[in-house]
Structure 1
Amino acid sequence: MISEILRDHGLGKGLNGADKKALIDAVNAADTNQSVVKTNIINALKAKDANLSLTNASTFADIVASIPSLYIGKKWATGTCTIQGASGQTNKYTVTGLSFVPKTILAFSAVDPATNPPSFHGYSTVYAYNDAGFTSGKWQRLDTWSTSMFVNQTTAPTTGQFTLTNVSSSAYTDYIRWFAFE
């Protein structure tokens, strides 16, 4: 009985025309579907880490090879800048191009880094804890300076940028190392 069923479906005789067409259609559908699936996988990976060098032309082997370099943790950035002194705290430096919205920003400034210790400036989204649990985050200064480099950044950033301000007198230049954390 099984051998009759198999013979009816081409065993020992080759594929009939209808079965060949069905097989070709199945392969074509799988090829079309794998292209859509591949594109969806690439888009999902790039949404997690835009620095991945995947494109729609990437192969599945390229996708597999890129997975170990996928960055999952919190993002951060650092840099340096120099801001000339000015009266009235008008000289500013805006850090732009961050691929994340900073939740904590730290800056270390010195007017003469070779001889003076740096001053610490910082802002962060701070969460308080009480009997009801954590309260919503509040953008709060971390330093105790009467004037902070973040004097013009009084609200939490909503994009990938923030502003530093020279708070020294007009005679001094601030040399700054900053850190921003997601």
Structure 2
Amino acid sequence: MNFQVNLHLPNDLLVDIGQYLQLSVHVELEICQIVAIVESRSSKIDEWGPEFLKLRKMPQNELIKKAKNVLPNLSQEVPSGAVNYINRCMIYIEQNAKYRHMVVHGAFSFDDTNGDCCINYLHWRRNHGQRIAEQDTTRITQEMRKDALRNLEQLLGGLIWAKDKILAEH
């Protein structure tokens, strides 16, 4: 089925957008599970499940803050590599939060001449205590798109590995 968006954006870009969004959501899902497992000190879903559901509704910046506060509670039995990896993931997510928001809330356009796309995005900034909306247009190359997808795929795989290590100790 064709939609209006298919008239303006190529299928490979639409697939990349969908994969980026799903990878981002699954990264957050893994972080929620890790935090819930560590807080409950249990590998049993009926014990960490209720906290997991609360975490899923948390804004991303609050989730990352909570995860950073919970990580020191990991037992010494969990490999330090898993803890270090999770910490690196938190830094990556914080540094790239703007791009996630741009993809979620931005309107894409496509440049046929070079295969790049632009994201038109509205963001808030503060000016003397007042919130002011500003428009931003960011150019994204095909290489940047593929790099972002590769990075998120690696991030997700590493978080799944780290969660498995944590589950093995709880």
Per the normalisation by structure 2, the TM-score is 0.22
Which structure has more RCO (C-alpha within 8 Å, separation ≥ 6)?
Answer: 2
Per the normalisation by structure 1, the TM-score is 0.21
Judging by fraction of residues, say which structure has more helix.
2
